[in-house]
Structure 1
Amino acid sequence: MSKVLVIGAGGVSSVAVHKMAQLIAAETGPFSEITLASRTVSKCEAIAESVKARTGVAIETAQIDADDVPAMTALIEQVQPALVVNLALPYQDLPIMDACLATSTDYLDTANYEPRDEAKFEYRWQWDYQDRFKDAGIMALLGSGFDPGVTSIFTSWLKKHHFDRIDTVDILDCNGGDHGQHFATNFNPEINIREVTAPARHWENGDWVETPALSHKQEFDFEAVGPKNMYLMYHEEIESLKTHIPEIKRIRFWMTFGDAYLTHLEVLQNVGMTRIDPVMYEGREIIPLQFLKAVLPEPASLGETTKGNTNIGVIATGEKDGVQKTLYVKNICSHEAAFEETGNQGVSYTTGVPAMIGSALILSGNWTGDGVFNMEEFDPDPFMDMLNEHGLPWTLEELDGPLEF
């Protein structure tokens, strides 16, 4: 049984902590104690109250500035966790990793590092920690969310059990939920908008292919949602999958957006509200996108009003025993069911549950190693089993043929 320190107090963190507490209440391990820390301790206390009411488990709370390495180091030394679970902002990955190095503590996150001043999503900054983590005898697990995370596991599981060789991978992320707002994002608005407005990139025949943001659209009929327009985007699991499963000739990532969302986003871009460079306002510098984040609805507040389903999966083509085939593995998650269980909407749920599962596999010794790892480097079977057991069941089907686009 092991103690964990969770950093961040948004919707994803709330789900992960609720799911960890469920295992403590059931006495099924591997968690023993939870400390939840964030810059705003009142958010931690609100999550702790919900966890206590729903599971009967009491968790500790603390205030922390995750950008402050000495303060993070001191908190880890005080709590003495077996694992630090980073569910804060991607900007804070490196300071938290530095604190884990200073204290020889294992580390997990759900999204790769990105610098504050540039919408650039790469693993290289974290992969550069490989030798330091290995020499320290500790482990870092990167991207234990849904995408990245579950989508990486889906791919490696297909490779292990159903393909001798994978040729193409398409990751399809559909949120069919309706939150009733004119414009809101289902996770951190600043990260969401930076991601959506960045140029699209996919991997094909050994090279990156870059296209303008939102310039490639396809319609797809998603089970439990219906037909939706989805757009080609860049996502970090493309980089890790092409690195660790280099046989794959093409990897693409698609995400659905409604027309109203795209119209609002275009207007905000046109008036400069999505800029991430500083502008002067009343004698001081502000970042327009950070100001926009402050006036948009808090994603964690959308749970009660969000209705519908998410549908996220992987379509892979390849060969088994000399025969070409196309397989589709996916999860469908109900926003209403997620809220009933944890008080959070489905987008938070689909990221928070995998964060708990990755943490559990590290603490139980199922996944071990010294250094920095991505999800697809480990045996996918225990993770796939836990998805079925903890609220994110998956299905597998064979398609008639490859995608026509």
Structure 2
Amino acid sequence: MARVMIIGAGGVGQVVAHKCAQVPEVFTDIMLASRTRSKCDKIAAGIDRHIETAQVDADNVPELVALINTFKPDLIINVALPYQDLHIMDACLETGVHYLDTANYEPLDEARFCYKWQWDYHERFKAKGLMALLGSGFDPGVTNVFTAWAKKHHFDRIDTLDIIDCNAGDHGQPFATNFNPEINIREITQKGRYYEAGKWVETEPMALSKDFDFPEGIGPKKIFLLYHEELESLTHHFPEIKQARFWMTFSEAYLTHLKVLENVGMTRIDPVLYEGKEIVPLQFLKALLPDPASLGPLTKGRTCIGCLVKGEKDGAEKTYYIYNICDHEEVYKEVGSQGVSYTTGVPAMIGALLMLTKKWTGKGVFNMEEFDPDPFMERLNIHGLPWKETIL
């Protein structure tokens, strides 16, 4: 039915390739491309379907265009680095191909998570009759759809939204990140922000925390307030929301390591001169840390990501919690990855599937919450990320 090109061969790219291969009636032809072709070949070798592979520099638009024109995909799934989003969008515009990603663009020299750069592409995609779907991961992604589902089925008005992300897994390493170390550390060390009464309130990094009791035996954990990009789009598309916050769990060991690395300058993103050459400390640190894709066989435990929503239904106050729990070991048995990669990769495949089957259509640039949540929610249950909901 459709040809798809996946750009990026890390842990998420591995999951996306596996999950697309599991739906041959939609994804008839698959190409996996990255800067290092050997990574693509290794992933393809573990899949019981033919996957084409290719080498491409996602920062090089002419090179991307040449590869796209050779393979002729209907859709590109971008699971490369967020710095590369605009280059891949440019290549899609030049070749007339639909676009999907899992994380918004940010400039290389500034940890600034902002949709403006990609929203500015709306008219260009619209003029070409193309669709770009932004943030089709879990958070952003599924959490946006959870919010749209809550509004459609449970609330007349949403007042407060708390997105709460817990990784209760353990990989046994002294210090490692569950997705790209550079992106992960940039995200955590920037200042926190939350939305309150029409304004953004800024906090010092990791300054606000509280306890939250997670369901199904995970139990109480300390959660820390961060800024996350879906807050920007959700408060934009649901202007009724009075307060929106994003919370994430971290172990004491993780926070201690991170504080030491920050204190000695290893989390800096500006270049420093070392033996006559410029290096970026955080990029050097990334090279020293375990590859997140290598954590699959080591990680045990579960993730729990969901939305706690408060508002009004039929004149009465209502509190509602919707969440997914993902087991790291079960995921590894299925696709050879750990749960954090899985919770991002499965929604990327589902978003692509809904675009290619015309369940979600449009011309321009869109966020997940702009579409009917029902077909996406149905597919979550089918493809490995079942959700539960409860009225509190």
* TM value normalised by structure 2: 0.99
- In the alignment, residue 236 of structure 1 is paired with which amino acid? E
> Given the alignment of the two structures, is residue 308 of structure 1 paired with residue 304 of structure 2, yes or no?
no
Match of 1:128 in 2: 120
- Structure 2: distance between partners of 1:276 and 1:345: 27
Following superposition of structure 1 onto structure 2, how do residues 4-403 of structure 1 map, counting pairs within 5 Å?
A: 4-24=4-24, 29-51=25-47, 56-223=48-215, 224-399=217-392
- Structure 1: distance between partners of 2:49 and 2:358: 24
Superposition deviation, residue 222 in structure 1? 1.2
* Deviation string, structure 1 residues 181-222 (Cα, Å, up to 9, x no partner): 000000000000000001000111001000000000111111
- Structure 2: distance between partners of 1:58 and 1:103: 24
**Structure 2 unpaired stretches of 5+:** none
* Deviation string, structure 1 residues 210-249 (Cα, Å, up to 9, x no partner): 0000000111111242211110000000000001111111
**Contact 1:65–1:71 (Cα < 8 Å) also in 2:** yes
- Structure 1 SS opposite 2:366: strand
- Structure 2: distance between partners of 1:180 and 1:93: 33
- Structure 1 SS opposite 2:41: helix
**Contact 1:225–1:308 (Cα < 8 Å) also in 2:** no
* TM value normalised by structure 1: 0.96
**Contact 1:220–1:228 (Cα < 8 Å) also in 2:** yes
**Structure 1 unpaired stretches of 5+:** 400-405
> Between the two proteins, what is the percent identity of the paired residues?
66
Superposition deviation, residue 367 in structure 1? 0.4
Superposition deviation, residue 30 in structure 1? 1.3
Moved over 4 A (4+): none
* Deviation string, structure 1 residues 2-44 (Cα, Å, up to 9, x no partner): 00000000011100110110111xxxx2110100000000000
- Structure 1 SS opposite 2:305: strand
* Deviation string, structure 1 residues 311-330 (Cα, Å, up to 9, x no partner): 00000001111011100000
**Contact 1:104–1:138 (Cα < 8 Å) also in 2:** yes
* Deviation string, structure 1 residues 62-104 (Cα, Å, up to 9, x no partner): 0000000010111111110000000000000000000000011
- In the alignment, residue 255 of structure 2 is paired with which amino acid? L
- Structure 2: distance between partners of 1:229 and 1:205: 25
Superposition deviation, residue 152 in structure 1? 0.2
- Structure 2: distance between partners of 1:226 and 1:302: 24
- Structure 2: distance between partners of 1:130 and 1:235: 22
- In the alignment, residue 228 of structure 1 is paired with which amino acid? K
Number of aligned residues: 391
CA RMSD for the aligned pairs? 0.5
After alignment, is 225-234 or 123-132 more displaced?
A: 225-234
- Structure 1: distance between partners of 2:220 and 2:301: 14
- In the alignment, residue 325 of structure 1 is paired with which amino acid? K
- Structure 2 SS opposite 1:4: strand
* Deviation string, structure 1 residues 269-326 (Cα, Å, up to 9, x no partner): 0000000000011111000000000000000000001000000000000111101110
- Structure 2: distance between partners of 1:13 and 1:22: 14
- Structure 2: distance between partners of 1:49 and 1:248: 47
